[in-house]
Amino acid sequence: METSTKPKFAVVTLGCEKNRVDSEGMGQMLRGAGYEPTASTEQASVLIVNTCGFLEAARQEAIDTLNQLAATKRDDQLLIASGCMVELYPERISGGVTVLDGQLSARNWPDIAKLTATLGQQRGLPLTLFPAPPLIALDPALTEQCPTAPASYADPQLTGFARRASGASAFVKIAEGCDAKCSFCIIPQIRGGHISKPLPQIIAEVKELAAQGVKEIIYISQDSTYYGLDLGIRDGLAGLLEETVLQVPQIEWLRIMYAYPARMTPRLIQTMAELPQVCKYVDMPLQHGSEATLRRMRRPPNMDRVRRVLTSMREAMPNLALRTTFIVGFPGETNAEFDELLGFINEGWFDHVGIFTYSPEEKSESFKLEGHLHPRVKEKRRKLAMAAQQRISLKRNAALVGKTMHVLIEGEGELEDEQGRSTDEKIYVARSYREAPEVDGYIFVQPRKQTPLTVGQMLDVRINRAEEYDLWAKPTANS
Pick from 192, 218, 165: nearest CA to 16: 218
The string of pLDDT tens digits covering residues 295-316 is 999 998 899 999 999 999 999 9
Are the beta carbons of 207 and 122 closer than 8 angstroms?
A: no
Neighbours of 411 (CB within 10 A): 11
Q: 348-377: string of b/e by CB count within 10 Å (b at 16+)?
A: ebbbbbbbebbbbbeebbbeebeebbeeee
**Bridge partner list, 13:** 50
The string of pLDDT tens digits covering residues 325-345 is 999 999 999 999 999 999 999
Which pLDDT does position 139 carry in this prediction? Answer: 56
Pairwise CA distance, residues 290 & 304, whole Å:
11
3-class secondary structure, 173: strand
Which pLDDT does position 128 carry in this prediction? Answer: 46
**Bridge partner list, 309:** none
Q: Which domains does the chain have, with CATH numbers?
A: 8-123 (3.40.50.12160), 141-398 (3.80.30.20), 404-475 (2.40.50.140)
Are the beta carbons of 370 and 331 closer than 8 angstroms?
A: yes
Residue 342: φ, ψ to 5°: -60, -40
Which residues 6+ apart lie within 8 Å of 10 measured at CB?
37, 38, 39, 40, 41, 43, 44, 46, 47, 48
The residue among 301 and 54 whose pLDDT is bigger is 301
Which segment of 42-46, 155-159, 262-266 scores lowest on mean pLDDT? Answer: 155-159
Q: What Å distances lie between residue 32 and 63, 84, 175, CA to CA? A: 29, 24, 24
Which pLDDT does position 314 carry in this prediction? Answer: 95
Torsion of Cα atoms, 429 then 435 then 436 then 441, to 10°: -60
Torsion of Cα atoms, 461 then 462 then 466 then 472, to 10°: -40
Q: How far is CA 300 from the centre of its chain?
A: 23
Helices (H), 45-139: 56-72, 84-88, 90-96, 112-123
Which pLDDT does position 136 carry in this prediction? Answer: 53
Are the beta carbons of 196 and 175 closer than 8 angstroms?
A: yes
Neighbours of 308 (CB within 10 A): 12
The string of pLDDT tens digits covering residues 398-454 is 999 999 999 999 998 887 777 667 777 888 999 999 999 989 999 999 888 777 889
Pick from 190, 193, 196, 189: nearest CA to 177: 193
The string of pLDDT tens digits covering residues 153-188 is 446 667 777 788 888 999 999 998 899 899 999 888
Pairwise CA distance, residues 327 & 299, whole Å:
12
Pairwise CA distance, residues 130 & 133, whole Å:
9
